[in-house]
Chain A
Amino acid sequence: MRKKIKKTGLLISFLILFLSSATWLLASGNLLIKNATILTVTGGVIPRGDVLVINGLIEQVGQNLTAPADVRIIDAAGKYLMPGIIDTHTHIALSGTNEGTDAVTPEVNMAEVINADDTSILTALSGGVTMVHTMHGSANVIGGTNVVLKLKWGQPSEQLVVKEAYPTLKFALGENVKQSNWPLLPGRPQRYPATRLGANALIRSELIKAKDYMAAWDRYEQLKKSENPPADLLPPRKDLRLETLAGLLRGQLIARCHAYVATEMIEFLNLSKEFGFKIGAFEHAWEAYKIADELKAAGVGISVFADSWAYKMEAAEGIAYNAAYCTKKGILVSINSDSGERIRRLFNEAGKTVKYGLTQDEALRLITINAAKQLGVDHLVGSIEAGKQADLALFSRHPMSAYTRCEMTIIEGEVYFDREALLKERAAASAKKGGLS
């Protein structure tokens, strides 16, 4: 019992540490980070450089900067400062992932199920991640709308939402929506679609319905505005499912499509041309290297794993060269975690692409500026530039090295993860524990 209390106490002290490190500068968001090797991503590398942060924004990037009075100075000599890592495909900080009972559920919205207390946020922060695109799952052909969050642990969920990001709608193709890897249980009918044919056809039919729905509303609005509207004129029934799809067709939402094999990506590109909607990126896109020309021509990016593959049939031709090869072909590539564990070593995953052909600078872009571009927030984050938000991650060595370790994670000038402080706290807790026993 006593031990349990001690353990709980230790845990609470960790939590307090995180909360307190977050609240120290809550009011200010002011920092001067000195003497780091600064990997700006868009403006080269500054050896022994400084970054001045005022009110959560990067005020100045350079050398020998001075801070106004009362601004906390962090000496980062020997360390590497990079932009905060952006994960373009996760499911963390949500209290639900899939509304999988129906193959079509665009009416559901992940912004309504944000869980700001999910400890995966802290796990992510311990790996330098500051922003995530947290998404509906891949159980349905048309999932819900997704949300982009900043990992401001301790703040209410509304404060986490990045409103400037593209509004995105999840689509999914292949084995998950076919439910190919689920056991067929007696008495349970198979859900439509059970083939890739059905998945594609279902999307087309839903989009035709959405177009009809839009036309019905257009007709209603037209008649309403006419000189002699019919006496029995009634508006069409509101359909939230079709409203969302209409939003996609009107360009208010962009599609993010979970896809693995080349054919399903080509056909989704064709659907986007047929119906005139925009694709933000293909998710996973393991066979993107096979259709790099088509993706390049369509201007569609990919959000992929570095090398997690062969976990199902459609991932059996996922080669670790994918990210590097597609980057060289001019496709906008980001590396995602899709995992509450891998998220804390996303920098390692990006680093792996160096073996397959990228430079360290190019690899770094996969989890910073490229990710920001895919989410429509590259004017705010994704690089270390004056005027951008001060989302930063400090590493013991070059973040693309296997030997590196995240030391500190900062969002808008506030420290959300500080390994050194955590170690001090642990030492103090352990000394206290030793003193008691």
Chain B
Amino acid sequence: MRLMSMAQTGRQLKDRKNSNLLLALAVLLSVILIIPPFSLAQTAAAAENGSEIIAIVGARIVPVTGPVIDSGSILIKDGRIAGLGTSISIPAGARVIEAKGLIAYPGMIDSYSWLGLEEISGVRATVDNRETGRINPQVKAIEALHYDSMHIPIARANGIVAAVVAPSGGLISGQSTLVKLDGWTNREMVIKESLAMVIELPALRRSRGEFSGLSRQQPQISTEKVLDELRQIFEKTRMYEKRKEAAQKSILLPPPDFDEASYFLLPVVKGELPVIFSVHADKDILQTIKFVQEEKIRAIFYGVEQGFKVAREIKQAGLPCIIGSLYSLPPVGEDGYDALFLNPVILNEAGVKIAFSSSSASAAKDLPYHAAKAAAFGLKPEEALKAVTIYPAEIFGVDKLMGSLKPGKLANIVLTDGDLLELGTKIQKVFIEGKEVSLENRYTVLLEKFEQRDKRE
């Protein structure tokens, strides 16, 4: 960087060779004085905006979509992966990071979280993830996202680089967003501003585990009725659009009055905006598949606790599944104490595309542990890793940008001292779009503050 600045300055001087000597000397003098701080500032700026050239050298590389490289290099340029492999030539001026003994993974993607919408769950003033009322397609997660949430740097320090942030509650909860976990404002974080509409179908009320003898309690409203209601809402949306179009064609037809739900559901019925359906019981999943096909909408399932019972049908419908938190007891006792752990294993084996989620804000950092839990119950470790990297990228249509280490993709890279999903692994460095992000967070700040007590005389 400094060399480049010198060259540029040299050219500038050349242009001015006709100026009088005194002025040239003055310029030269000032340049000599100014260059060091100026170039430092420029380096810092490059580091901040991701334009720094970085070479990670000697790491074990787990690209996820390609074979593992025992010892190789990754070149980061203009925020992207410029090269990756065993014979990468490192350009002069690149910042070299010696990564011998470390492992490079693509950064993880949390497929369902409340990051930035919930700070302290018990303090209402800090909770923005649940609007009142049942039909809220107009609310957008991005517009309330607290970019400076204390939970974001903690998740980042655990290797998570992007997250779906979803509103919840009611029937139509609102519009989720896909963000990177870096940015000075909520808008700077955006990957996909409006990712998917969230629709919550009736929950399974929990019975008390495999051994309880309690059978499943019926939800208060049947899913059938709820889907009927949605059919009517979608139909109304289509009519609203037709009336608007007709009014545009003929001055004799008055346009319809503004209808909030129809207005914001239009991209959904047009098949432009997918829907994340929070759906749980096997029968409800089947009904929802039918609904999605009849209504011709794009859908992603979330929760799917009994998906294992209808894995073949989900696969046939080609619908991806975001697995809900595994920090939960199975909602249906008879399914077995390990039903939630086996569910992703069975779905994956049936060929369903799965992605794990934290379903949390304060425990978003635990995303890798959900994946590892499924691996403990039979999910292949490579598949567990894919389900927090490339599979979510594919589900959300950003696999050209992220989800694996591949030349051309954004440089979302995590350097670890061990297996990415393992509890004891320490994350050494995180790069988001080519920028090395700080791993400082509320945990480290408070620890360092109180460690000062030990340093007293």
Residues of A within 8 A of B (CB): 4, 7-8, 10-11, 14-15, 18, 119-120, 122-123, 126, 175, 181, 289-290, 292-293, 307-313, 315-317, 319-321, 325, 340-342, 344-345, 348, 351-352, 354-356, 360, 396-397, 400-405, 426
B255 within 8 A of A: no
User: Shortest distance in angstroms between A347's beta carbon and chain B's nearest beta carbon?
Assistant: 10
User: At the interface with chain A, which of B170-178, B228-236, B276-284, B443-451?
Assistant: B443-451
**B210–A122 contact, CB under 8 A?**
yes
**B120–A311 contact, CB under 8 A?**
yes
**A122–B337 contact, CB under 8 A?**
yes
User: At the interface with chain A, which of B12-20, B52-60, B105-113, B366-374?
Assistant: B366-374
Whole-angstrom distance between the alpha carbons of A315 and B120 in the complex?
A: 9
26 contacts between A and B (CB under 8 A): A119-B208, A120-B208, A120-B209, A122-B337, A123-B329, A307-B365, A307-B366, A310-B151, A310-B362, A313-B122, A317-B446, A320-B443, A325-B447, A341-B328, A342-B327, A345-B327, A348-B369, A348-B373, A354-B424, A355-B425, A355-B426, A397-B376, A402-B368, A402-B376, A403-B421, A403-B422
- A-B contacts besides A341-B327, A396-B376, 18 pairs, CB < 8 Å: A14-B211, A119-B209, A120-B208, A120-B209, A122-B209, A122-B337, A123-B209, A123-B329, A289-B446, A290-B450, A307-B363, A313-B120, A321-B444, A352-B423, A355-B423, A401-B423, A402-B421, A404-B376
B333 within 8 A of A: yes
**A14–B210 contact, CB under 8 A?**
yes
Whole-angstrom distance between the alpha carbons of A325 and B151 in the complex?
A: 21
Whole-angstrom distance between the alpha carbons of A400 and B424 in the complex?
A: 8
* A175: B residues at CB distance < 8 A: 122
* B119: A residues at CB distance < 8 A: 310
**A426–B336 contact, CB under 8 A?**
yes
- The contact string, 1 if C-beta is below 8 Å from chain A, for chain B 385-408, is 000000000000000000000000
Q: Output the residue of A352, A360, A403, A405 with the most chain B CB within 10 A.
A: A403
B212 within 8 A of A: yes
B377 within 8 A of A: yes
Given contacts A313-B120, A319-B443, contact A402 B209 (CB under 8 A): no
Whole-angstrom distance between the alpha carbons of A426 and B209 in the complex?
A: 15
- The contact string, 1 if C-beta is below 8 Å from chain A, for chain B 97-141, is 000000000000000000000011111000000000000000000
Q: Which residue of the partner chain A has the closest CB to B445?
A: A319
Q: Which residue of the partner chain B has the closest CB to A404?
A: B376
Which B249-300 residues have a C-beta within 8 angstroms of A?
Answer: none
Q: How many A-B residue pairs have CB under 8 A?
A: 129
Whole-angstrom distance between the alpha carbons of A3 and B422 in the complex?
A: 41
User: Shortest distance in angstroms between A286's beta carbon and chain B's nearest beta carbon?
Assistant: 10
Given contacts A348-B369, A405-B377, contact A312 B211 (CB under 8 A): no
Which listed residue, B122, B213, B376, B426, touches A11 by the CB 8 Å rule?
B213
**B211–A122 contact, CB under 8 A?**
yes
Whole-angstrom distance between the alpha carbons of A292 and B372 in the complex?
A: 33
**A402–B362 contact, CB under 8 A?**
no
User: Shortest distance in angstroms between B184's beta carbon and chain A's nearest beta carbon?
Assistant: 23
Given contacts A7-B334, A341-B327, A403-B381, contact A351 B424 (CB under 8 A): yes
Whole-angstrom distance between the alpha carbons of A123 and B422 in the complex?
A: 24
* B121: A residues at CB distance < 8 A: 310-312
Whole-angstrom distance between the alpha carbons of A308 and B150 in the complex?
A: 14
3 closest Cβ pairs, A-B complex: A354-B424, A402-B372, A312-B122
**B210–A351 contact, CB under 8 A?**
no
B453 within 8 A of A: yes
* B327: A residues at CB distance < 8 A: 341-342, 345
B375 within 8 A of A: yes
Q: Which residue of the partner chain A has the closest CB to B337?
A: A126
Whole-angstrom distance between the alpha carbons of A345 and B373 in the complex?
A: 10
B205 within 8 A of A: no
* A340: B residues at CB distance < 8 A: 329
Q: Output the residue of B120, B368, B381, B444 with the most chain A CB within 10 A.
A: B120
User: Shortest distance in angstroms between A344's beta carbon and chain B's nearest beta carbon?
Assistant: 8
Which B336-388 residues have a C-beta within 8 angstroms of A?
Answer: 336-338, 361-363, 365-366, 368-369, 372-373, 375-377, 381
Whole-angstrom distance between the alpha carbons of A351 and B366 in the complex?
A: 12
**B447–A11 contact, CB under 8 A?**
no
* A316: B residues at CB distance < 8 A: 120
Whole-angstrom distance between the alpha carbons of A311 and B447 in the complex?
A: 20
Whole-angstrom distance between the alpha carbons of A5 and B385 in the complex?
A: 40
Whole-angstrom distance between the alpha carbons of A351 and B422 in the complex?
A: 9
B215 within 8 A of A: yes
Which listed residue, B120, B328, B375, B421, touches A310 by the CB 8 Å rule?
B120
Which listed residue, B211, B328, B442, touches A15 by the CB 8 Å rule?
B211
**B123–A402 contact, CB under 8 A?**
no
Which listed residue, A14, A181, A289, A403, touches B450 by the CB 8 Å rule?
A289
* B369: A residues at CB distance < 8 A: 348, 352, 402
- The contact string, 1 if C-beta is below 8 Å from chain A, for chain B 405-446, is 000000000000000011111100000000000000011101
Whole-angstrom distance between the alpha carbons of A7 and B362 in the complex?
A: 37
Whole-angstrom distance between the alpha carbons of A363 and B94 in the complex?
A: 41
Whole-angstrom distance between the alpha carbons of A178 and B227 in the complex?
A: 44
User: Shortest distance in angstroms between B358's beta carbon and chain A's nearest beta carbon?
Assistant: 12
Q: Which residue of the partner chain B has the closest CB to A395?
A: B376
User: Shortest distance in angstroms between A41's beta carbon and chain B's nearest beta carbon?
Assistant: 18
Whole-angstrom distance between the alpha carbons of A311 and B151 in the complex?
A: 12
* A15: B residues at CB distance < 8 A: 211, 213
* A122: B residues at CB distance < 8 A: 209-211, 337
